[in-house]
Amino acid sequence: MDIPTSWFRQSTSSSEAWPIDRVLAAKRASGLTVTVVIPARNEAATVGQVVRRILGELVEGAGLVDEVVVMDSDSDDDTARTAAAAGATVHRTVDVVPEAGSFPGKGEALWKSLFVTSGDLLVFLDADLTVWSPQFVVGLLGPLLSQPEALLVKGHYHRLSPPGSADDEDGGRVTELVARPLLNLLWPDLAGVVQPLAGEWGVRRSLLEALPIPVGYGVELATLIDTFERHGLNALAQVDLGRRGHRNQPVRDLGVMAAELLGVVHRRGALIPGGALSPSLRQYDPVTGWTVRPVPTAERPPAVSEPSYAGRRLEATR
């Protein structure tokens, strides 16, 4: 495994290696703008503090970030109101590009964010963060602003889970049982990516707007694989963000996520060539019995292929 080991050493840095003064100077020299996007569904308990810290430290304080946008993905709690009260620009995904319809899912929120944001560089943060730092954003921007070849920057971290959790201190259940084995078997050059499913990542708009985007949780894996296949390993970098804590999902929800990842790999021709995957997952509970849950299989086309994209992007920059 010389290739991923070598890449890991050359392309991995610590967020602390990117002091904010250095990153801010690189931003000013580049003339690029930065948007932080926070996809959220029913995260009223945590989204406000995420928004306030980014606004306070990186927008109003340092001037590193130009806009903070929360994409509200069909929440039925006070997520949108809480995020707006904290100072974010909030968009309901169902209201963005309405002529294209709407899907539930994280990838849908990220795809639609391209139509309502202005930044040349996009940094994505999950809305359920409980242990984190605005330095996450600074670190992810470091390679994008200092290394012209870097197109996609993945975060990795010491993952903190609730006490007694089965996946405390590791990469997460779906990462270790599905994503990492798939990458090692099918894309071994990507074996050095520590957290392929990390929700904290930075990307050049020029890359993301040219990629197909799965509407669900497959967005991170698809973006990683597609960037590698189109632009090679040197287009990727990763940054150690330190400690990260967030809300855990129930194991049956993770089963649906795992099925989504298998679908991403299948649609890229690496799993069951020519075969078909079921769009549903049958799960068994000893108390409630069998349930059948849908597995998101749709992928949005590259945003640049949408007729309205250029006009909406121009409007977002005003």
pLDDT in tens, 74-93: 999 999 999 999 999 999 99
Gap between the Cα atoms of 13 and 36, Å rounded? 21
Question: In this predicted structure, what is the pLDDT of residue 101?
Answer: 96
pLDDT at residue 153, as a whole number: 98
Give the closest residue to 242 by CA, choosing from 126, 137, 164.
137
For residue 263, is it within any domain?
no
167 confidence band (pLDDT: 50, 70, 90): very low
Residue 4: pLDDT over 90:
no
Q: Can you give the CATH number for the domain in which 188 is found?
A: 3.90.550.10
Structure-model confidence comparison of residues 286 and 161, the more confident one: 286
Name the DSSP letter for residue 167: T
pTM here is 0.91
* Mean pLDDT (whole number) for 142-155: 97
Terminal-to-terminal C-alpha distance of the chain: 48
| Euclidean distance between CA atoms 38 and 285, whole angstroms | 33
* 293 domain-assigned: no
Least-confidence region, from 25-29, 76-80, 249-253, 258-262: 249-253
The residue range of the domain holding 83 is 2-249+299-317
Domain assignment present for residue 17? The answer is yes
269 within a domain of the structure (yes/no)? no
CA angle 112, 115, 119 (to 5 degrees): 110
Flag whether 87 is in a domain. Answer: yes
291 located within any domain: no
For 57, 69, 78, 247, the CA distances from 52, given in Å and listed in that order, are: 8, 12, 16, 19
> How many domains in the chain?
1
Q: Is residue 258 part of a domain?
A: no
* pLDDT higher at 186 or 165: 186
Place of tokens 């996609």: 152
* 270 located within any domain: no
For 292, other C-beta atoms within 10 Å of its C-beta total: 9
pLDDT at 5: 66
Report pLDDT digits (tens) over 120-142. Answer: 999 999 999 888 999 999 999 99
Tell me the pLDDT band of 166, cut-offs 50, 70 and 90.
Answer: very low
> What is the rounded average pLDDT of the residues 209-234?
97
pLDDT at 314: 79
